[in-house]
Structure 1
Amino acid sequence: MKHSSGYKIFRVVALVLVVLSLVAPLLWMVSASFKTNVDIYDSSKALIFSPTLANYDTVFQQANYLQFVFNSLWVAFAATLLSLILGVPAAYSMSRFNMKKSALVVLMARVIPGVSLLVPWYYVFSNLQMIGGFGVLILSHMFVSLPLIVYIMMGYFDGLPEELEEAALVDGLTHIGAFRRITLPLSVPGVATAGILSFIFSWNNFMFALVLASGNTKTLPVAIFDFVGYASIDWGGLMAATTVVTLPIMVIALFVQKYIVSGLTAGATKG
């Protein structure tokens, strides 16, 4: 009994420490976004300070962050949608027709670091005069989104019973018809999971937009660097911009976490 009580106390303390280590930086970021640069450097005003909205005024009025928000939304939405259109049928084919080699290629695409492709991408897309446009950003983000969606959906399709499709084939449907009428409606939770994770990864992507975007098409993670100067850093504006990038995707993740977990666990077992 004593051992059980001691274990419960240890588990609670460990859980509190882990949560604090994760939440404390976020709380400091949000609080710093309401401080002046002088108050940020003043340790005596870590908890008690006079809040100001000047940093958010700088972000939305002077830095034109609404344009960058639109850029991030457009690139993430387009990359996710195109990846779903291509990835879901590809994952179904790999799962049902036992295409192990193709699945291995997809897995390799997930393993290869994206930074290793930036130089050849820049060379190819510059010759095609696509650098600085939304098209090159969407294509580069699909390099992350498409393998992720295929990887998730293959596990989900493996977990769906094949007997339903076989019955549809007996009734006269083709493989495409069985996929469209039977398998695809049943896989909506998996599609939602893959789409949500793809959107989150695309929203947070920094490296591709840093090299391939222009001043008019750069996304929020790149736009944050506007507050980092050669001689000084506008910490208040930087924290406000980081809050704008972080909080929306955190809110989305909190509201859809049960769908993500259910979709991943549904594709983790077979039969």
Structure 2
Amino acid sequence: MGRKRSHSIAIWTVLILFAFWTVVPIALVVLNSFKRAKDIFTVSPRLVFTPTLDNYVNAFTKANFGLYYVNSVIVALASTVIVIVTGTFAAYALTSFRLRSANTIANGFLLGKLVPVISMLLPLFVIINAIGLRGTLAGPTIAHVALNLPFVIWLMMGFLRDVPPELQQAALIDGCTRMQTFWKVLFPLILPGVAAAFVLSMQYSWNELLFSLQLTNLDTYTLPVGIAGFVGAISVDWGLSSAAATATMVPLIIVGFFVQKHIATGTTGGAVKG
């Protein structure tokens, strides 16, 4: 009993410390977004203060943050939908069709994911600039698709391999086409994986800075680029940047709250087989 109690205390201590480490920085950002400058720059953090919405008003009116928000929604949704559709069907083809080079193709996608992201910046910049998409929303969208696609393919391959092949064979024998088999039999079973891939791809595209900074201009900046613009060479507008960061976190927190069960299943469900 004493050993079990010590084990439980150790586990709870680690969980509490991890929660503290995770929640406190976020809480400070949220609090700073409602503070005036004089309250932010106190020597000790001031928990009791008069809240204000000036930082949010300035972010969406003076800092052109509303445009960055719309740009991020377009880029994140477009890249995520493209990645989910192409990645799921590519995984379906690699796991269900008898292709001689299926393993080679799958390993090629994995190799693309192992390459450091920074090393892909110059080639993608050259390609997107050559086809005239630099400075448009299509530029970062294509870059995010290229970066997320290998991950989604491998994640969905794990789920599709877990589905018993007898289910597909039974559907084909009953007269279903390949597409009918996919939508009526496979898709409901791999839905947790699709939800996990959607949220994780959306999160990456929503928060990605490097490619968005290099492939956009003032009219097509996304949220991370816009927030980075609040950091000046001499000073940082902490109130404005905190308000922008808080507004940026809200959509993903809401989405993650509603699909958290699918995320937990999706990130582990395809890890047993394949």
Q: Residue 177 of structure 1: CA displacement? A: 4.3
> Match of 1:66, as an amino acid?
G
The residue number in structure 1 matching 2:191 is 188
The residue number in structure 2 matching 1:266 is 269
The residue number in structure 2 matching 1:145 is 148
- Secondary structure of the residue aligned to 2:120 is helix
- Higher mean displacement: 172-181 or 15-24: 172-181
What CA deviation, in whole Å up to 9, does each residue of 1:126-173 have, x standing for no partner?
222210111111110101221121111000000001001112233344
The residue number in structure 1 matching 2:255 is 252
The residue number in structure 2 matching 1:19 is 19
- Higher mean displacement: 178-187 or 144-153: 178-187
Are the aligned partners of 1:160 and 1:270 in contact in 2 as well (CA < 8 Å)? no
Are the aligned partners of 2:195 and 2:259 in contact in 1 as well (CA < 8 Å)? no
Q: Residue 201 of structure 1: CA displacement? A: 1.3
Give yes or no for the alignment of 1:85 onto 2:85: yes
Supply the distance in 1 between the matched residues of 2:86 and 2:265 (Cα, whole angstroms): 23
What CA deviation, in whole Å up to 9, does each residue of 1:211-260 have, x standing for no partner?
00111111101100221122221111111111111232123223311111
TM-score using structure 2 length? 0.91
Identify unmatched segments of 5+ residues in structure 1. Answer: none
Supply the distance in 1 between the matched residues of 2:195 and 2:47 (Cα, whole angstroms): 40
Superposed CA RMSD in Å reads 1.9
Give yes or no for the alignment of 1:55 onto 2:55: yes
Supply the distance in 2 between the matched residues of 1:104 and 1:22 (Cα, whole angstroms): 35
Are the aligned partners of 2:137 and 2:220 in contact in 1 as well (CA < 8 Å)? yes
Are the aligned partners of 1:34 and 1:55 in contact in 2 as well (CA < 8 Å)? yes
Give yes or no for the alignment of 1:126 onto 2:112: no
- Higher mean displacement: 42-51 or 131-140: 42-51
> Match of 1:133, as an amino acid?
T
Residues 233-244 of structure 1: matches in 2 within 5 Å?
233-244=236-247
Identify unmatched segments of 5+ residues in structure 2. Answer: none
TM-score using structure 1 length? 0.92
The residue number in structure 1 matching 2:171 is 168
Supply the distance in 1 between the matched residues of 2:273 and 2:114 (Cα, whole angstroms): 25
Q: Residue 184 of structure 1: CA displacement? A: 2.8
